[in-house]
A and B are shown apart, each in its own frame.
Chain A
Amino acid sequence: MRVGSSVLACCCLLLQLLGLALFLRGFFPVPVRSQSRKNSVSDIPSEPSAGAKSNWTALPSPLFKKTVIFLIDAFRQDFVFGPKGKMHMPYMTEMVEKGTTHSFIAKATAPTVTMPRIKALTTGSIPGFIDIIMNLNSQELLDDNLIWQAKQAGRRIVFYGDDTWIRLFPKHFVEHDGTTSFFVSDFTEVDYNVTRHLDNVLSRNDWDILILHYLGLDHIGHLTGPHSHLVGPKLFEMDNVLKKIHTSLMVKEEDGSLPSLIVVCGDHGMSETGSHGGSSDEEIETPLLLISSSFERKGEPAKAPDILQQTDLAPTLAIGLGLPIPRNSLGTLIHPVIEQKTMREQLRYFHLNGYQLSTLLRENVESSEKDVGFEQFKKAEKSHGNWIKLYLEGNTSEVLTNLGRKVLKQYIEALMKLSSSLSKQVAEYDMYSMTVGAIITLEILFLLLLSVPNALCSRAEFEVPLSSPFFSLLFYLLCLVLAAIHVIVCTSTENVCFFCSISWVMAIGIMTLMSALCCIILSTFGKMLSNAKSPNKRPDSVSLWSELDVILLMGTLGHVLSMGASSFIEEEHQTWYFLVNTLCLALAQNMCRKYFLVKKGNPIDLATHKRTDNEGAYIKEIYDMHKKEMREERLPILSRFVKDHEKWIALSSPWAILICCRLLRSLNQTGVQWIHRPDFGHWLTSSEHKAELSFLVAVSLVMIFILIQGRCSFVSKVALAFGLLGVYSYRAAIGHVLYPWQQSTKEISKGITEARFVYIFVLGILITGIKDLIKSQVIITDSKAKSVGLWEVYCGLVLLAALLFRPHNLAVLVFCLLIQSTLTMFIWKILKYDAAQVTLMHYWFGQAFFFFQGNSNTISTVDVSAGFVGLDNYIEVPAVFLTVFTTYSGPLLWSIHLLCYLNSESSRLSTSIAHGCYCYAIIRSLPVTIYIILITVLRYHLFIWSVFSPKLLYEVIHLLISVFVCLFFTAVDKNQMAKSDV
């Protein structure tokens, strides 16, 4: 079967996506826990009593009457315990120092994003990394959790704050008012929406649990960082809220009744730049304050707060509220909270906690009996029983108390061990699925690499040897072996394995695919070997490599290998900036050589001379083409200027690109180590420089129009102009920029009308473009319609990016267009690179622009607010699409531009699109494949969750986008084929 290069590339990428999906399913541990079951009161174990008759089988009664959970989003540890807390939170500081409180630093785990953290706080489990994707799409929490337990027990829960809670716990609250967290620029309204209910609620008596989730601090962090002047007043406001709650609860407490409890906590911290999601100390350390009149201080001076896990809050609250501990909780009881209770009660609580943890361990680990923690727990349980026996016999001596303390210590140690071995259990990998996925991906990469000589030849076709593998013995043998392995693995493994759980038809399909791919690769390889042995060898094929080829190849390989080091992943932008710079210098050298050697007329030998002559003629021809184009799109003076000084413009253009790159580099600091450095982006977005920002945005929009309108049809030109105007009015409406006649921002709206206005034009331009493309397919002679259509699609995407980007990033867009047109006009056409080289260069620039936009390989730089442009509230599909588009618009715009360029080239060389598509597929599949192998090797690395996993997600989504790009390439290329056939 013969297939074109681009079709082959598409199929390969699609199959690779399948392999990658399998790998991901194995790599991201799906929590292995009893999903549906919830602990109920009947599951509660009775007190161990070593034969004696214990009368305590029921759940312990609650310790607190009313509970207030006061959650402040992005509440960093030093906002309480550091100098900021002392300055801005006087009441809290006083409570910490002398009040009846227990204060701790609770460590969150990565990903430090709100929804997984709420889950951790309420279930006590560590949500899988995959929860980060679900953060945008939170559904009801089905795991056993505190809120559900409280509702079952008939507690009345009141909730105000982030509406993530309402989506997680629908119908759990007797009263609620949610505020959305997505309009990050608002930090007063969100908190006012919570506080305005307080007086009412606190004066009433018809609730048991009050949950408050304040978002303002988080929004301030996202806007201006943790050291902004807005943080102080916000902390003071929070302090006042605490004072209000505390005093009103104190007033209500009567003698004899149970005390109330206030829990002050943060869901996650805030990095030095104000975002969160990663696992730096600033992001994971949150304060945890437990305030209750029942906590007594033994007169000791305030010491540094103890460190514990965020998950410890769930079992503690469960005990405190008299509820069963959530089934999947990994936390251990916070001892100081129950210290004032009698020894019997304390032991009972710890026994409950230990019982729950050991049950969880038994359910998830095969050989749980051998676990050290489990053994210790059994031992402690036994001595607990003995203690109860003594106690029930009426023994009240000093010895009993001491014995009780010993049991308590045993319990605490056992709980720690149990908890830690359970946390380890969370990070188990499903190696079988990972291996299957990796093998498919690797086979595809081999296939792509082996067919390079065929696919990049002048016919751009590849003969897929289908018949021989399907009838070969090897194929059936492989199928049999794989099936045998499958049976053996699935019957012997203890852990849950995804690939074993899918239906056997699909499993057999995947195994057939694997063996077929293997056979195809082998027969292709065999054919290559026999071809190489045949006499017509070309001797000089190696020396044809130019320096540029070497740089492109070594750079790509070097980048791929560098992904094995966590620092290089964190600072990947440095690698790309470095490589792009080197590329520009190589272009400059090529340019110099071309012009100076030609001009000098210093022929080294005759052949070169002849070639340069030819090239001279070619340049003239190209130039004529340009002239024609330029006459249409530029002023005659400009074109004459360009004609007269072409040499000097061409010589200086690599340097201009270098300077552009250097400017862009200082626009958005990114990465990890140097992200704190000041950059232009922050300077521009700060509120004092609104006028400058407005000027920049206006100039950028005009520049965008000038740069891309030239090759559009008249209709889309007009649409583009209106669209860009709409972008400015949208920016003005949401308060990013000012109109010249406007002195200060008065009212800020969400700009929904303006944004939708722009969307209409974007759709209009895209539809016009696609219509032109289809027309070029139907009317075969019309090749101009095709290039116009492609360019219009490109324009539509640029307009969409202009709408969605952060305001200062419009400069990135302008520089992107500027560099693209410079490269096209003065470098590629003059230096006459082939499709493969141009594709590689495009890819490099695309990667660099991914980081110029301010992206990095941590989740925290994703601009979620882009998903809400022009939307009233959260709608999943458009929001995800818009966010992904904004994040990857750099690489995407470059690849679409590549298609436009290759299409214009295809008049010279009809296979250029096919070659470009093929190279693009290889260059995308190479890093992904190598990366999943690296990540499998490094799966026990310390930074696997904080550095390597986010990068894996970025790579996978990038591959997904590349599949779409390749499909587009193929669709366009098909037309080309059809045309050449006729």
Chain B
Amino acid sequence: MDETEIRRLSVGHVFSILAVVFSLCIPPLFLDNFSLLETHVTWLCICSACVAAVNVILLLTLKPNPSSKRISFGTKVNKFSKSCIYFLISCLLFHGIIVLYGAPLVESVPETFIFSVLLSSLTTSRCLCILGPNFPAWVRVFSRDGAMSVWDHSLQITTVCSVVGAWLGAFPIPLDWDRPWQVWPISCSLGATFGYMCGLLLAPAWIYWNRKKLTYKSR
């Protein structure tokens, strides 16, 4: 088990966590009356942009998916545009799933959509960065015993954590406490972000803990 790989992974995760923290701390300096609960949509936009940007930067610097053969510029552009389309589709898909879960169909569409964008940047953007726009590979990673590298494992853990966080975040909504954070979609997006950060912290620890057991086949 290559320890340097784990170290690189940990560095990447620290940057991802910093991105979320950054989206919380920096905007109040520039924007008037910014707060997490009242201007939630703004925060959602900033947070998803930060997370996505950091993911792209990490892709370029850490190169989790090194390939031996040279890729031509054309393929790169092709890949990039494909990724963009995948990201858009995932946003729409998340939106659809959220509506199926019972979010209002007509009212508060912007909130729902921006929440699905956040979910996409927490999950899909990482998938795109690590696996590329390759659907069968995604299915493989998210199956039992499908992970083939440290990055796959971290991807599994963070994605599952974010989705489960969002899922659990929906539970307080029916309670009749009348708290500001019970308003749609605040509890869900907070849950998703919290789950994402937990996943980021958890993944390197878990991989380090199980490094003896994890044997990946060479590609």
CA distance A582 to B101 in the complex (A): 8
Interface residues of A in 551-607 (CB under 8 A from B): 565, 567-568, 570-571, 574-575, 577-578, 581-582, 585, 589, 592-593, 596-597, 600, 602, 604
The residue in chain B whose Cβ has the minimal distance to the Cβ of A568 is B174
B139 / chain A contacts, CB cutoff of 8 Å: 592-593, 596-597
> Least Cβ distance of A300 to chain B in Å?
38
Judged by a CB distance under 8 angstroms, whether B28 is at the interface is no
Contact string against A for B residues 190-214, beta-carbon threshold 8 Å, 1 for contact and 0 otherwise: 0000000000000000000000000
Judged by a CB distance under 8 angstroms, whether A665 is at the interface is yes
CA distance A665 to B136 in the complex (A): 33
Q: Are B146 and A581 in contact (CB under 8 A)?
A: no
Judged by a CB distance under 8 angstroms, whether A9 is at the interface is no
CA distance A581 to B170 in the complex (A): 13
Judged by a CB distance under 8 angstroms, whether A798 is at the interface is no
A593-B139, A604-B145 are contacts. A574–B102 as well, Cβ < 8 Å? yes
Judged by a CB distance under 8 angstroms, whether A971 is at the interface is no
Segment touching B, from A236-244, A656-664, A717-725: A656-664
Judged by a CB distance under 8 angstroms, whether B167 is at the interface is yes
The residue in chain A whose Cβ has the minimal distance to the Cβ of B167 is A582
Judged by a CB distance under 8 angstroms, whether B2 is at the interface is no
Q: Are B175 and A565 in contact (CB under 8 A)?
A: yes
Q: Are A578 and B101 in contact (CB under 8 A)?
A: yes
A200 / chain B contacts, CB cutoff of 8 Å: none
A582 / chain B contacts, CB cutoff of 8 Å: 167
Judged by a CB distance under 8 angstroms, whether B33 is at the interface is no
> Least Cβ distance of A429 to chain B in Å?
26
The residue in chain A whose Cβ has the minimal distance to the Cβ of B163 is A585
The residue in chain B whose Cβ has the minimal distance to the Cβ of A605 is B145
A42 / chain B contacts, CB cutoff of 8 Å: none
A593-B143, A661-B100 are contacts. A600–B136 as well, Cβ < 8 Å? yes
The size of the chain A interface, using a CB distance under 8 A, is 30
B49 / chain A contacts, CB cutoff of 8 Å: none
A582-B167, A602-B136, A604-B145 are contacts. A662–B176 as well, Cβ < 8 Å? no
Judged by a CB distance under 8 angstroms, whether B85 is at the interface is no
Q: Are A585 and B174 in contact (CB under 8 A)?
A: no
The residue in chain A whose Cβ has the minimal distance to the Cβ of B176 is A567
Q: Of A571, A589, A662, which contacts B99 at CB under 8 A?
A: A662
B175 / chain A contacts, CB cutoff of 8 Å: 565, 567-568
Judged by a CB distance under 8 angstroms, whether B140 is at the interface is yes
B62 / chain A contacts, CB cutoff of 8 Å: none
Contact string against B for A residues 645-675, beta-carbon threshold 8 Å, 1 for contact and 0 otherwise: 0000000000000110110011000010100
CA distance A418 to B174 in the complex (A): 39
Contact string against A for B residues 69-97, beta-carbon threshold 8 Å, 1 for contact and 0 otherwise: 00000000000000000000000000001
Q: Which of B105, B135, B139, B145 has the most CB of A within 10 A?
A: B139
A662 / chain B contacts, CB cutoff of 8 Å: 99-100, 102
A581-B100, A600-B136, A662-B100 are contacts. A574–B174 as well, Cβ < 8 Å? yes
A593 / chain B contacts, CB cutoff of 8 Å: 139, 142-143
Q: Are B174 and A571 in contact (CB under 8 A)?
A: yes
CA distance A700 to B14 in the complex (A): 57
Q: Are B101 and A581 in contact (CB under 8 A)?
A: yes
The residue in chain B whose Cβ has the minimal distance to the Cβ of A571 is B174
The size of the chain B interface, using a CB distance under 8 A, is 21
CA distance A547 to B173 in the complex (A): 25
> Least Cβ distance of A541 to chain B in Å?
16
Q: Are A658 and B100 in contact (CB under 8 A)?
A: yes
Q: Are A578 and B102 in contact (CB under 8 A)?
A: yes
CA distance A602 to B101 in the complex (A): 33
CA distance A565 to B176 in the complex (A): 10
Q: Are B176 and A596 in contact (CB under 8 A)?
A: no
B143 / chain A contacts, CB cutoff of 8 Å: 593, 597
Q: Are B176 and A589 in contact (CB under 8 A)?
A: no
> Least Cβ distance of B169 to chain A in Å?
12
> Least Cβ distance of A958 to chain B in Å?
21
Contact string against B for A residues 285-317, beta-carbon threshold 8 Å, 1 for contact and 0 otherwise: 000000000000000000000000000000000
Q: Of A547, A567, A585, A596, which contacts B136 at CB under 8 A?
A: A596
Q: Of A570, A659, A673, which contacts B100 at CB under 8 A?
A: A659
The residue in chain A whose Cβ has the minimal distance to the Cβ of B146 is A604
B173 / chain A contacts, CB cutoff of 8 Å: 574
The residue in chain B whose Cβ has the minimal distance to the Cβ of A671 is B174
A571 / chain B contacts, CB cutoff of 8 Å: 174
The residue in chain B whose Cβ has the minimal distance to the Cβ of A596 is B139
CA distance A567 to B178 in the complex (A): 12
CA distance A671 to B174 in the complex (A): 10
Contact string against B for A residues 631-653, beta-carbon threshold 8 Å, 1 for contact and 0 otherwise: 00000000000000000000000
Contact string against B for A residues 103-126, beta-carbon threshold 8 Å, 1 for contact and 0 otherwise: 000000000000000000000000
Contact string against A for B residues 119-153, beta-carbon threshold 8 Å, 1 for contact and 0 otherwise: 00000000000000001100110111110000000
A575 / chain B contacts, CB cutoff of 8 Å: 174
CA distance A567 to B171 in the complex (A): 11
> Least Cβ distance of B140 to chain A in Å?
7
Interface residues of B in 163-188 (CB under 8 A from A): 167, 170, 173-176
A597 / chain B contacts, CB cutoff of 8 Å: 136, 139-140, 143
Q: Are A577 and B102 in contact (CB under 8 A)?
A: yes
The residue in chain B whose Cβ has the minimal distance to the Cβ of A592 is B139
A570 / chain B contacts, CB cutoff of 8 Å: 174, 176
CA distance A618 to B100 in the complex (A): 33
Q: Are B176 and A673 in contact (CB under 8 A)?
A: yes
B99 / chain A contacts, CB cutoff of 8 Å: 662
CA distance A565 to B146 in the complex (A): 40
A671 / chain B contacts, CB cutoff of 8 Å: 174
The residue in chain B whose Cβ has the minimal distance to the Cβ of A608 is B145
> Least Cβ distance of A600 to chain B in Å?
5
The residue in chain A whose Cβ has the minimal distance to the Cβ of B160 is A547
CA distance A597 to B139 in the complex (A): 7
CA distance A546 to B140 in the complex (A): 16
CA distance A634 to B56 in the complex (A): 53
A582-B167, A602-B136 are contacts. A567–B174 as well, Cβ < 8 Å? yes
> Least Cβ distance of B159 to chain A in Å?
12
CA distance A567 to B101 in the complex (A): 19
CA distance A589 to B101 in the complex (A): 16
> Least Cβ distance of B21 to chain A in Å?
30
CA distance A240 to B165 in the complex (A): 61
A665 / chain B contacts, CB cutoff of 8 Å: 102
The residue in chain B whose Cβ has the minimal distance to the Cβ of A666 is B105
B135 / chain A contacts, CB cutoff of 8 Å: 596
The residue in chain B whose Cβ has the minimal distance to the Cβ of A585 is B97
A574 / chain B contacts, CB cutoff of 8 Å: 102, 173-174
Q: Which of B97, B102, B175 has the most CB of A within 10 A?
A: B102
> Least Cβ distance of B131 to chain A in Å?
14
CA distance A597 to B137 in the complex (A): 9
CA distance A300 to B98 in the complex (A): 59
B142 / chain A contacts, CB cutoff of 8 Å: 589, 593
Q: Which of B100, B170, B174 has the most CB of A within 10 A?
A: B174
B144 / chain A contacts, CB cutoff of 8 Å: 546-547
The residue in chain A whose Cβ has the minimal distance to the Cβ of B97 is A585
CA distance A377 to B145 in the complex (A): 78
> Least Cβ distance of A669 to chain B in Å?
11
B176 / chain A contacts, CB cutoff of 8 Å: 567, 570, 673
B136 / chain A contacts, CB cutoff of 8 Å: 596-597, 600, 602
CA distance A908 to B184 in the complex (A): 47
A-B contact sample (16 more), CB < 8 A, given A575-B174, A581-B101: A546-B144, A547-B144, A567-B176, A570-B176, A574-B174, A577-B101, A578-B102, A593-B143, A597-B139, A602-B140, A604-B146, A659-B100, A662-B100, A662-B102, A665-B102, A673-B174
A-B contact pairs, 16 of them (CB 8 A): A547-B144, A567-B175, A568-B175, A578-B102, A578-B170, A581-B100, A582-B167, A589-B142, A592-B139, A596-B136, A596-B139, A597-B136, A604-B140, A604-B146, A662-B102, A673-B174
Q: Which 10 A-B pairs have the closest CB atoms?
A: A571-B174, A567-B175, A596-B139, A658-B100, A600-B136, A662-B100, A567-B176, A574-B174, A593-B143, A581-B101
